[in-house]
Amino acid sequence: MRLRTWSSAVVLALVTVLVPGVAAQAAPARAAGPQPLERLFDNTAVSDDARPTEADFDGSGASLSAQALAAADWTPGRALTVRGALLTWRGRGGTPDNVRAAGQEVRLRGRGDALAFLVAGTAGADVTGTAVVTYAGGTRSAFALTAPDWRTGPLGPKAVALSHLNTPGGPLAERPRLYVVTVPLAPGRKVVSVRLPQAPDMHVFALAVRAPAAGWTGGWSTATGGYPAVGPWTDRTLRLVVHTSAGGPRVRLRFDNTFAAGPVRIGGATVAVQRSGAEPAGTPVRVSFGGARGVRIPAGAQAYSDPLGFRVPEDANLLVSFHLPEAVPAAPVHRLAQQRSYVSEPGDHTADVSAAAYPTVLTSWPLLTGVDVAGGPGSVVLLGDSITDGDRSTPDANRRWPDVLADRLRGQREVPRYGVLNQGISGNRVVTDRYPGDGVSTDAAGVSALHRFDRDVLAQTSARTAVVFEGINDVRWQATAEQVVAGLRALADRGHAHGLRMLAATLLPCEGEARCTPAVDAERTAVNAWIRESGVFDGVLDFDAVVRDPAHPSRILPAYDSGDHLHPGDAGLAALAGSVDLRSLVP
């Protein structure tokens, strides 16, 4: 993999980038050398609601609430997995719990694909500074680190938002927020220390090397699009049907409590191959979490099951069953599954070999976001909207274009047989959040591609190549080509900085759909011209050329049209996948 130089000026506030070759600044004189982060804590961010003056996070006496943090299950000493990185929360209330960045040298050890920072700014706007990572042998690289503001920063990419904040005059019903941002590391190099920026309004709560997912390939994934009301589910088992791209001799599951305000408990989980409907082909096999039967996932965090010796077939439907013992009135959800799953009668039915206890059909995927398999060459991640999500494809048939692409990869030997990870969200846009990024909402079209890129691409298991196929929803809702192009360029830059091969697909014609006016088509055409000609991406999938009507290029060829003039049907989706030069996927 390669690392490229790129400018933070082209990226939104959350972006962090590696800038190879920047000379390191002289280290501040510190006789003790690099220290663990917690030994450098010099600011208290957390207060008890009854004693709000015991902390002063921002210099005006405001602070995070210990009670609100506890309600999110962010308790002192809690290990949190966010963006695939394990970070420890140490805020106890009334004692120092973070570092105001002022050039401190932090001792850190490990090899990985990224540094992960748990941060927030207190300047009223984003705070950016230059930090330096030191590798074994003395090599250093500088990078720009940005901390969004704890009160005004965007909600879409947040790690967690709390119910209120404390002030000397009492609580305020605001949504203070904390962020996890990642910075790419040189592959295979051992990190020994990190020098924080000279930016005192940047607060660092935790820092970790994100370990690579060595030995794992993504077999299936989906992206969380929102946080709608569900059920409510109390003492129910969800049996989700998911279709594998790659297979392997071991499996691990990933659950994400994205966008949540409180924790969710999974009482137990199993995996099985589907026979039909909710009926498994054999006895479901139980997975564990850190050796325990179940797991409690804090707000905004994720949980991986322990590796399980279970042979996952490629190109097969799995049943992933998990019990929710406590009330779940709302949940992080991928809305458009195009696949029937099932909800049980009361009780833990994770081990059931019969479908009898599963009378209710579910057409979304809550909580479960990934199935990884051991071995394999890694994964191709497809970031898209409803066309990638499979809208208008045949339900329960796995005819989305990512499914057909996976079929092609499995049927050849010319290039590695990558896992294919579908990160499409129906209604998603490049530059604008549809779901606001916080709270219960009926809109499950997701936060923008810019706000979800770290979570849905960079943190995906063993990602090697990413394909960006978005923008038609932006221009259909009056975004200009210039705005979409700026967003696509930022995504390409961020992917390249993390060593990914970045491909872009041209936007499909949609004349005949209500919002696809001639003015919209002009913006679409301008975006496509930039994709084809700019050279910003490593390759182009010219999907527009594949499905357009040669006699009428602003509309989809009728044989490929699902009937709504916006989404291809099964034949059109197969044509998209069939047009991909598989060699273009290889880094």
Beta carbons of 423 and 460 less than 8 angstroms apart? yes
Residue from 87, 435, 421 nearest 254 by CA: 421
Q: 3-class secondary structure for 383-413? A: EECHHHHCCCCCCCCCCCHHHHHHHHHHCCC
Beta carbons of 111 and 186 less than 8 angstroms apart? no
Q: How far is CA 216 from CA 8, 249, 370, 432, 463, in A?
A: 31, 11, 12, 33, 10
Residue from 353, 201, 291, 260 nearest 72 by CA: 260
Identify the pLDDT of residue 27.
Answer: 38
Q: Domain for residue 1, yes or no?
A: no
Residues 6+ apart with CB under 8 A from 395: 338, 339, 340
Residues 6+ apart with CB under 8 A from 26: none
User: How many CA within 13 A on the CB side of residue 139?
Assistant: 10
Could you tell me if 228 and 165 lie in one domain?
Answer: no
Residue from 119, 139, 138 nearest 129 by CA: 119
Out of 321, 336, 371, pick the residue that ends a domain: 371
Could you tell me if 255 and 189 lie in one domain?
Answer: no
Distance of alpha carbon 502 from alpha carbon 535, whole angstroms? 11
Expressed in angstroms, the distance from the first to the final Cα of the chain is: 7
Could you tell me if 199 and 231 lie in one domain?
Answer: no
Residue 534: CATH number of its domain: 3.40.50.1110
Residue from 481, 390, 497 nearest 430 by CA: 481
Model confidence band, residue 8 (pLDDT cutoffs 50, 70, 90)? very low
Identify the pLDDT of residue 123.
Answer: 97
Residue 81 C-alpha from the chain's centroid: 12
Q: Domain for residue 298, yes or no?
A: yes
Could you tell me if 65 and 112 lie in one domain?
Answer: yes
Model confidence band, residue 23 (pLDDT cutoffs 50, 70, 90)? very low
Q: Domain for residue 2, yes or no?
A: no
pTM of the model: 0.93
Identify the pLDDT of residue 7.
Answer: 34
Distance of alpha carbon 454 from alpha carbon 360, whole angstroms? 34
Out of 153, 181, 210, pick the residue that ends a domain: 210
Could you tell me if 310 and 354 lie in one domain?
Answer: yes
Model confidence band, residue 168 (pLDDT cutoffs 50, 70, 90)? very high
Could you tell me if 446 and 464 lie in one domain?
Answer: yes
Could you tell me if 154 and 202 lie in one domain?
Answer: yes
Could you tell me if 199 and 103 lie in one domain?
Answer: yes
Query: 318: buried, middle or exposed (CB in 10 Å: 19+, 13-18, 0-12)?
Result: buried
Could you tell me if 459 and 362 lie in one domain?
Answer: no
Residue from 216, 585, 210 nearest 371 by CA: 216
Identify the pLDDT of residue 301.
Answer: 98
Q: Domain for residue 446, yes or no?
A: yes
What 3-state DSSP class applies to 547? Answer: helix
Could you tell me if 384 and 506 lie in one domain?
Answer: yes
Identify the pLDDT of residue 185.
Answer: 96
Out of 210, 236, 268, pick the residue that ends a domain: 210
- Split into its structural domains, the chain has a count of 3
Identify the pLDDT of residue 15.
Answer: 35
Q: Domain for residue 223, yes or no?
A: yes
Identify the pLDDT of residue 127.
Answer: 98
Q: Domain for residue 322, yes or no?
A: yes
Listing from the earlier edge strand, what are the strands of the sheet with 78-82?
A: 85-89, 78-82, 302-304, 251-256, 368-374, 216-221
Tell me, what DSSP letter sits at residue 23?
P
Model confidence band, residue 341 (pLDDT cutoffs 50, 70, 90)? very high
pLDDT at residue 13 above 60? Answer: no
Could you tell me if 306 and 420 lie in one domain?
Answer: no
Tens-place pLDDT, residues 229-260? 999 999 999 999 999 999 999 999 999 999 99
What does the pLDDT average to over 477-484? 98
Residues 6+ apart with CB under 8 A from 531: 488, 504, 505, 506, 537, 540
Strands (E), 432-551: 463-469, 501-505, 539-541, 548-549
Q: Domain for residue 3, yes or no?
A: no
Q: Domain for residue 66, yes or no?
A: yes
What 3-state DSSP class applies to 486? Answer: helix
Residue 270 C-alpha from the chain's centroid: 24
Could you tell me if 48 and 89 lie in one domain?
Answer: yes
DSSP 517-543: -HHHHHHHHHHHHHHHHS--SSEEE-H
Q: Which domain holds residue 280?
A: 219-371
